[in-house]
Structure 1
């Protein structure tokens, strides 16, 4: 235990290893959790390794550094050139004309002021007033007129004053008509205008300067609005660097523009590289925690199966190694959908969807957080999930791959066109997307058989192959035991309908029904459906031996199927479809010969059905044989027989491990009855028809 004091508080830390007993360690739950930890840690290591290499790069650059060696672009890069856009904006700001508000009253006011100035001068000259009224001009015009200017004008004769007044009024009117902008003076205004026809004295310049005020006031808000409108119209600027192009020469001084190019190529300063690595680690840890909680809860059953877990691990390993070493250069040529398709075929659509999203999230750091690719692939996964469940044949998978490529192309072209515009890179990537779509379907079909065989996984394609009646095992069944073959077909029809009705797997149920009795091929004549009205071998042997023969057909079928490499899931049905059912007929015969006979010797070895599909096949197997023995096959007779058989199975505890609800059982009864009536072409009699039928029979007699 660690202890330390800080600010008057004592902190205690204890790290202990969790104690697990053997039951916990070897339980399915803990094994599942351990598997997911290994799986996610593997993904984190591969993803983080894409960032790790940058830390150990020999050259790390910062602003004002000298380039140590020639740097060439390792791949084609198109990046957002922020500095180019900023330069365009700067030019716009510098070239933009400032906006002003015209104030005509300014010119009128100060022209009037100049006129009143000369009126005041002339009145002094004519002795009408003694002194110049400086306060008047300061109060009314906010002007401070220097005494020397007044004295300078008073030194002139009356005629010269009137002449000067006329000339300066004309000049001032002309100045105001041309406009005086805020920040300008009379001198700067005169410099920019054509007033060279008049030679002005120093005093005249000073007088005009006093009465010259801007009549165009700078409109800051309007100017900013006009500049902003032009700047908003500037699109993001992009620069393309071709693979192998010399980006920076040895000995060059590094500036912001060159750093921007290096960042686009993934060459960062050491501090930024470490920061990016750390943020990526935090990102991966966060998504790992989320992914762990989702998949261990939602896919506990699938991941508890070590074969499915192994196949998933292998698919991810192959996909991630491809992205790790080829992702940046051949990003749009990599058939990401292949991994998605494989998981759907080997497991199911929901599993493929969630793990497809997980794969995309972990791949993102390896492609330098390319958000265009992320969005395109995410939308493609959503689109594929919608249609993947309806794909049943190999050709449909190839077609779906091409359809997804078209969808990706449309999304990619839309995003890139609106963002970058059309370029050679966009057209090249579009071609890669189409090729990847074609490859994804073909590659999936090429890899699936190896994964099925290596991990012994019963995929939907494998089921369709096993369900082909030309399969050697089924062909032998139809030739050697035609009665059992017909019985299996009937069980398949009844079971498939019931499985679909309660949400079980109808295809698996049908195919498993085909194979459930193949063990009868070893001694076909010992089963009544294959005797064809001939001699019954059981009449010549003891009931003990008869029981051994009958009980053996489940294990015989299991071994035969193993030899033909039938998947374990179907072989389990062969053992479970009779559960631990009791052979009452042979037991009673044996008991009449020996009172000490053991009941357990006349029970199937089991195990009892563990799945809904296995339980349905057990019930259908018993019911199909029993219904054939009903002489008058009416709806009521058939339903009554079905209920009786199912009740006996329930009472005997044969269905306790199958996870069937009472609602499921009632649904199964209804579907069994309807399907069997359809198979045997039984006409349903409505109320009153049965009585009428009996009367007709009486009349005939």
Structure 2
């Protein structure tokens, strides 16, 4: 075997190995798409079996007395039956090109159209190709780059189920005389239900992309009618936008009412745009309003079991987890009060910063609440909990201290899995320190041994992969570090926080977070505004004494209190003096 043959063989081997690796890694997604495609293909087969003739023309295109534009032959023999008491012989000319269609010939055409033995294979293949193109579009849209998050199998499964339901109901509706009208068909399509459910469970971006795919699915299932397609797209977009503002379950009722109104408005708009009459408005308007309203109520019923089964970070689940009376947060408060206070402050910083950059503020806040729950196991080894006690790390070897500090990440992730917290929260817990070096103990160890490896003194996690996780990381380090800053004025805080952010950039901790420099500037300004307000100066009153100082406990009544006017005058002068001094500095 020469070198070229060996090279070709190795190339083929690598190619098949890569395919095998891809399949083994994504077999769940492949299976979900395959089953969805098979079920959709079965629906298309049913559709072609019951509505199309062998000549690839709908039966509605023919009528009695019409001059046939082509000759149609019977390729199969059909016996008489109760519904169609006429027989058709194989090879028979059912209609002849250039001759008017008689009543008997039209009757035979209907018999062929309704017969399962006559399938329009061309129309069937056309729709299969359409579904293949739709599948490719689905794969293109739902990738981490466009979606800006990792696509989970549970999301794909739910969307596949919803797509099949909508596709089937649309195809089924076209068989019913009531829903054959393009304006009445949307009454039975659960597009609002699908939009609500995907937006609440998986976010607005997923709902918008899925809404586009759902609209294209309706386009194919409705024999390419434009009105049901536009309606589906419009209500999916509006429903995804509406539910992004809700915070309580009762808000779903108001969201349903708003969507019911919008659904009617959309159809009115389409009727005006396509010059259609309003004769069927008595059926369409109440039907669409009921569809939209009941969809919101059904979503409320489905949400609780789906949130539990899929363990998603929906807005309602996050609101439940943000309750400070949950057992784990209560335990954090009692066992590690300093850590609890730190988490509350980090949550405030992260939430406001995410609002400024358009990220998920609620997810960041809840993630910050739980990001340090691993410290509950050994709270005494973390300085924020050592208010009156000595530092436990004073007499410990740096390597041992680092192992204790690093363990709070692993313990936090384990605790989060026990509590069945959503994956997004677990990711924040695991990523809020990234793989950065624990500088204090690394420098301390390096003073003793210059051959110390930085990796041994680094956190075991991965750098943040989402904006919310990165914001929590920055809020965590800024809140902790700014406590040690002397005279924390706004100018000093801004410079110090910028240095902290720069260090995270230089250590490649923000590379995978998709944060831009403009967003980092907004995050810094938000942190400065909140921390400057938190560390603002206080006025020292004339009779204020150091509680540890000794002296005469007696004081005059005048020194003990001020009149309200004197207090206000003193406060004003003190504040003016303080501002003047800060300005000089």
> Does TM, normalized by the shorter one, top 0.5?
yes
Q: Which residue does 1:549 correspond to in 2?
A: 404
Call closer, same or farther: CA 1:307–1:20 in 2, change over 3 Å. farther
Q: Which residue does 2:129 correspond to in 1?
A: 285
TM-aligned CA deviation for residue 411 of structure 1 = 5.6
Q: Which residue does 2:153 correspond to in 1?
A: 306
- 1:173-572 matches, within 5 Å, as 268=113, 274-275=119-120, 278-279=122-123, 281-283=125-127, 285-286=129-130, 288-289=132-133, 292-293=136-137, 296-297=140-141, 299-301=143-145, 302=147, 304-321=151-168, 328=175, 332-333=187-188, 335-364=190-219, 366=221, 373-374=228-229, 376-385=231-240, 387-409=242-264, 422=279, 427=282, 430-539=285-394, 541-572=396-427
- 1:95-106 matches, within 5 Å, as none
Q: Secondary structure at the match of 2:421?
A: coil
TM-aligned CA deviation for residue 552 of structure 1 = 0.7
TM-aligned CA deviation for residue 520 of structure 1 = 0.8
Deviations 1:553-611 (A, max 9, x none): 11111111110001222112222211223333334555666777654433221222233
Asked if the contact 1:578/1:606 (under 8 Å) is kept, the reply is: yes
Asked if the contact 2:357/2:519 (under 8 Å) is kept, the reply is: yes
> What is the distance in 1 between the residues matched to 2:466 and 2:403?
27
Call closer, same or farther: CA 1:694–1:559 in 2, change over 3 Å. closer
> What is the distance in 2 between the residues matched to 1:640 and 1:271?
77
Between structure 1 and structure 2, the one with the greater Rg is 1
Residue among 480, 487, 505 paired with 1:625: 480
For structure 2, the 5+ residue unaligned runs are 1-11, 67-81, 88-93, 95-100, 180-184, 539-575
Deviations 1:236-280 (A, max 9, x none): xxxxxxxxxxx978589x9867998999x99837799644x5335
> What is the distance in 2 between the residues matched to 1:397 and 1:262?
53
Q: Figure out how many residues of one structure are paired with residues of the other and give that number.
A: 495
Q: Which residue does 2:21 correspond to in 1?
A: 26
Call closer, same or farther: CA 1:535–1:411 in 2, change over 3 Å. closer
Asked if the contact 1:46/1:320 (under 8 Å) is kept, the reply is: no
- 1:94-133 matches, within 5 Å, as none
Asked if the contact 1:28/1:304 (under 8 Å) is kept, the reply is: no
TM-aligned CA deviation for residue 618 of structure 1 = 1.7
> What is the distance in 1 between the residues matched to 2:43 and 2:25?
26
Asked if the contact 2:307/2:314 (under 8 Å) is kept, the reply is: yes
Q: Which residue does 1:100 correspond to in 2?
A: none
Asked if the contact 2:163/2:217 (under 8 Å) is kept, the reply is: no
Asked if the contact 2:349/2:475 (under 8 Å) is kept, the reply is: yes
Call closer, same or farther: CA 1:623–1:349 in 2, change over 3 Å. closer
> What is the distance in 2 between the residues matched to 1:516 and 1:300?
24
For structure 1, the 5+ residue unaligned runs are 1-16, 64-78, 87-246
> What is the distance in 2 between the residues matched to 1:695 and 1:572?
43
Asked if the contact 2:40/2:167 (under 8 Å) is kept, the reply is: no
TM-aligned CA deviation for residue 314 of structure 1 = 2.9
> What is the distance in 1 between the residues matched to 2:455 and 2:205?
44
Q: Which residue does 2:47 correspond to in 1?
A: 51
Deviations 1:422-461 (A, max 9, x none): 47xx645555434322320111122233333333332333
Q: Secondary structure at the match of 1:604?
A: coil
Q: Which residue does 1:41 correspond to in 2?
A: 37
TM-aligned CA deviation for residue 502 of structure 1 = 3.2
Kindly report the root-mean-square deviation, in angstroms, between the aligned alpha carbons of the 2 structures. Answer: 4.7
Asked if the contact 1:619/1:646 (under 8 Å) is kept, the reply is: yes
Q: Secondary structure at the match of 1:394?
A: coil
> What is the distance in 1 between the residues matched to 2:278 and 2:252?
33
- 1:622-701 matches, within 5 Å, as 622-681=477-536, 692-693=580-581
